[in-house]
């Protein structure tokens, strides 16, 4: 039994996609919410076997859920990616090295754990980000050279503030004077601020950002590298660029409890064809 938002049966990245891409059929669909507490509770209580949550939802870490690998590439590549003003990047290429270094180490599990630290464990975004940077050796000895001023922005979403703190603290440690402009609003507000130079750096999601800047032209794909490259291409005329994508994503994901995963040997979405819970 699958649980998810009421519109899931008609959506290409939900039940319809599971049917068309994976050939899966579920005994029943239970309309719940869009990756929210109703879905979490239904999974915990055994009322559904598979639930739709966002791939970085803190409940995955808090409840020990298993995020099934999208092994046939149903979802577009909404990998985390820094978008930066080209002028700021050109002024000091070390900035790209610092930000790309963070992306290289930010796995799906670690992003989910960072979100859990803030939402479930009630740490501040600054404390959670600082602990992660320390644990991953981003706060060691560096050249103490002063490198200039930079403004890190974010949308009004807790995950964005965590990512903003990762960027801000790592850059501060490497000599930049960082101003934080977090919780500015939605993408329709924050992206123009980036273009106008009111902020210099923004954590984005590759596929969604690409379709935002290209006016929904359908250029995003399930390939993270290709989507990131196309995003950088589309940003060039705006005086912006995209750096390297992380492994971590925030997109539709299908999860099961650890007990269900162990019982049926589930690791990928394709594995659901075996027990069809």
| Together in a domain, 120 and 256 | no
Compute how many other C-beta atoms are within 10 angstroms of the C-beta atom of residue 137: 9
| Together in a domain, 92 and 221 | yes
Provide mean pLDDT across the span 115-132. Answer: 98
| Together in a domain, 203 and 97 | yes
Give me the CATH number covering residue 116: 3.10.105.10
| Together in a domain, 124 and 261 | no
Q: How many domains does the chain have?
A: 2
pLDDT value for 277: 45
pLDDT value for 275: 57
Note the pLDDT tens digit of each residue in 158-191: 999 999 999 999 999 999 999 999 999 999 999 9
| Together in a domain, 122 and 8 | no
- Name the percent of the chain lying above pLDDT 70: 98
Provide mean pLDDT across the span 225-232. Answer: 98
| Together in a domain, 94 and 58 | no
Provide mean pLDDT across the span 66-73. Answer: 98
Give me the CATH number covering residue 15: 3.40.190.120
Give the DSSP per-residue string, the chain. Answer: -EEE-TTGGG-TTTHHHHHHHH----S-EEE--SSSHHHHHHHHHTS-SEEEEETT-HHHHHHT-EEPB-TT--S---BEEEEEEHHHHHH-THHHHHHHHHHHH--HHHHHHHHHHHHTS---HHHHHHHHHHHTT-SS-------EEEEEE--SSHHHHHHHHHHHHHHHHTTEEEEEE----SHHHHHHHHHTTS-SEEEEEHHHHHHHHTTS-S---S-HHHHHHHHHHHHGGGTEEE-PPPS-B-SEEEEE-HHHHHHHT-SBSGGGGTT--
Q: Is the pLDDT of residue 106 over 60?
A: yes
| Together in a domain, 102 and 200 | yes
| Together in a domain, 173 and 238 | yes
| Together in a domain, 104 and 12 | no
pLDDT value for 87: 97
Residues making up the chain, counted from first to last: 277
pLDDT value for 142: 72
Provide mean pLDDT across the span 36-63. Answer: 96
Distance CA 123, CA 131 (A): 10
Q: What is the mean pLDDT of the chain?
A: 96
| Together in a domain, 145 and 257 | no
| Together in a domain, 42 and 85 | no
Contacts of 213 by beta carbon, 8 Å cutoff, 6+ apart: 191, 231, 234, 235, 238
- Name the percent of the chain lying above pLDDT 90: 95
| Together in a domain, 102 and 144 | yes
Domain extent, residue 93, equals 80-242
């Amino acid at each position: 039994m699958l649980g998810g938002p009421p519109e899931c049966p008609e959506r290409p990245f939900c039940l319809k996609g599971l049917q068309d891409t994976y050939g899966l059929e579920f005994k029943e669909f239970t309309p719940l919410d869009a990756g929210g507490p109703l879905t979490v509770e239904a999974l915990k209580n055994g009322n559904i076997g598979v639930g739709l949550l966002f791939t970085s939802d803190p409940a995955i870490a808090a409840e020990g859920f298993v995020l099934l690998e999208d092994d046939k590439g149903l979802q577009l590549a909404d990998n985390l990616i820094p978008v930066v003003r080209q002028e700021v990047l050109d002024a000091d290429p070390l900035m790209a090295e610092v930000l790309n270094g963070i992306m290289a180490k930010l796995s799906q599990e670690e992003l989910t754990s960072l979100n859990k630290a803030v939402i479930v464990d009630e740490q501040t975004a600054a404390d959670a980000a600082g602990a992660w940077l320390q644990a991953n050796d981003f706060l060691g000895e560096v050249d103490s050279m002063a490198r200039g001023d930079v403004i890190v922005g974010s949308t009004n979403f807790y995950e964005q503030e965590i990512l903003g703190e990762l960027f801000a603290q790592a850059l501060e440690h490497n000599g930049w004077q960082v101003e934080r402009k977090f919780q500015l609003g939605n993408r329709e507000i924050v992206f123009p601020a980036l273009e106008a130079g009111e902020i210099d750096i923004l954590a984005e999601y590759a596929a969604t950002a690409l379709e935002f800047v290209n006016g929904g032209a359908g250029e995003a794909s399930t390939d993270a590298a290709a989507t990131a490259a196309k995003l950088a291409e589309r940003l060039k005329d705006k005086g912006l660029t995209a750096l390297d994508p992380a492994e971590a994503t925030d997109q539709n994901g299908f999860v099961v409890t650890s007990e269900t995963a162990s019982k049926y040997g589930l690791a990928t979405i394709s594995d659901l064809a075996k027990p069809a819970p």
